[in-house]
Amino acid sequence: MITLKIKAFLDLHKLGYVATVSQDGLPNLSPKGTVVGWDENTIAFADIRSPDTVQNLQTNPNVEINVIDPLSRRGYLFSGKAHILKKGERFDEILAFYRGRGIKSPIGSIVLVDVSEVSEVTSPLYDMGISEDDIKARWKRYFEDL
């Protein structure tokens, strides 16, 4: 499910948007800069500043994570169920992974998502026959002009 291609994409584009639902049924969308493909079926992210996300997942573990390349306007949507790790061998292993990547922020917990579905996301511009190179060039110019 989470192929080597997808894992490489996540290593390059770490910023994901995690969607959860509060106890009151309200949506919560939170950016996470630590999204990684942990194995073939699991996405991980670190709880660095995620009190609402973690609280929501404790009452409703259903989650979606969207990671997009801002230049190519391509990416992936992951759906699944989350598990929160606060201690133990797996927590220590994943924490060491993040520390090895240079993350120094305090990490309160690790969220593991058992992925049940992966969908490719692409911009409607591709439907119009616009090439990836043209789309990237357009967005590079846009960001350079900011």
Q: Where are the domains of the chain?
A: 4-144
DSSP assignment of 79-127: EEEEEEE-SSHHHHHHHHHHHHTT--S---EEEEEEEEEEEEEE-GGGG
67 pLDDT above the threshold of 90: yes
Confidence of residue 129 (pLDDT cuts 50, 70, 90): very high
Confidence of residue 14 (pLDDT cuts 50, 70, 90): confident
pLDDT computed for residue 50 by the predictor: 87
Tell me the three state secondary structure of residue 42: strand
Residue 49's Cβ-count burial label (10 Å; 0-12, 13-18, 19+) is: middle
CA dist list (Å): 90 to 3, 46, 93, 97, 138: 21, 13, 5, 11, 43
Confidence of residue 145 (pLDDT cuts 50, 70, 90): confident
CATH H-level superfamily of 4-144: Electron Transport, Fmn-binding Protein; Chain A (2.30.110.10)
121 pLDDT above the threshold of 90: yes
Task: State the average pLDDT over residues 28-52.
Answer: 95
